[in-house]
Amino acid sequence: MMSKERTQELSELISATREHFAYLGELGVEELEFSTDPTVMSPAQPASKSSRTRTVSTPSPSYPESPNAAADALFGDLAPEAQKLEQSSETFEDIQASIGDCVRCPLSQGRTHIVHTEGNRKARLMFVGEAPGADEDVQARPFVGRAGQLLTKIIEAIGFKREDVVIGNINRCRPPGNRPPTNDEVAMCKPFLLREIAVVQPEVIVVLGNTAMRNLLDTKESIGKLRGKFQDYKGIKVMPTFHPAYLLRDPSKKRETWDDLKKVRDLLDAKP
């Protein structure tokens, strides 16, 4: 018969083991690895008749390379949640009124008209370009020149009409010679576009060309590297692709642009 002291020792060992497994369970540990050392008997192996004791060992803990990885393993990803874009109570008219007869940057000195964002205020799909060109500056509408006509064809090719979507630019005044807007010029104009995005809350934004992509996504990557891959802007899917004006100069890129827009179409078709 087992001695009283031995019984007490085993009882304490069992209690301690239960507490340890309960602690591991609270940390999310579901499995334990046992030693594969052939000199140590695995718990999955039956004990031989001559065996009087059974020993189980666990491997030494390995420590993650990143100092945050250990905490992530215990408590999940500690990175802050991705910021979501809050619904705005503004209207496009409110935003345009705050823009007024803008003279915030030097582009105002050479423009004919301010070219505001236009289209369906409840659109699922939004297109964002760089800045107005000569035709846009005269007509006070975005994407109405040759590049705009090509964009309209692209929109129709993926099953939408121009009036179904919303179209705008990072900058609303034409830069001289159609050059890219400077950082200072973008800084004056971009906040109004972001306010419009908050009003529309589109499911997908297609950014056309380097300037639009880099400024909306706040990245220095090139359009050639990111095009065709969905990015994120505060919970909104963003598809970078080539600007229609670039496609007019290099028609060989139309196939890649079509591939990018098919991904947008398929994403929207998959949603109710």
Write the pLDDT tens digit of every residue in 88-117: 999 999 999 999 999 999 999 999 999 999
Least confident segment among 8-12, 20-24, 32-36, 181-185: 32-36
207 forms beta bridges with 128, 240
Write down the CATH number for the domain with range 92-270: 3.40.470.10
Q: Quick one: pLDDT band at residue 56, thresholds 50, 70, 90? A: very low
For residues 204 and 201, what is the distance between their CA atoms, to the nearest angstrom? 9
Interval 210-221 mean pLDDT: 96
In this model, does residue 62 exceed pLDDT 80? no
What are phi and psi for residue 208, nearest 5 degrees? -105, 105
What is each CA distance from 257 to 43, 157, 189, 215, 263, in whole angstroms? 58, 12, 27, 20, 10
Percent of the chain with pLDDT over 90: 67
What's the pTM value of the predicted model, to 2 decimals? 0.70
The pLDDT score that the predictor gives to residue 43 is 43
Burial class (CB in 10 A: 0-12, 13-18, 19+), 201: middle
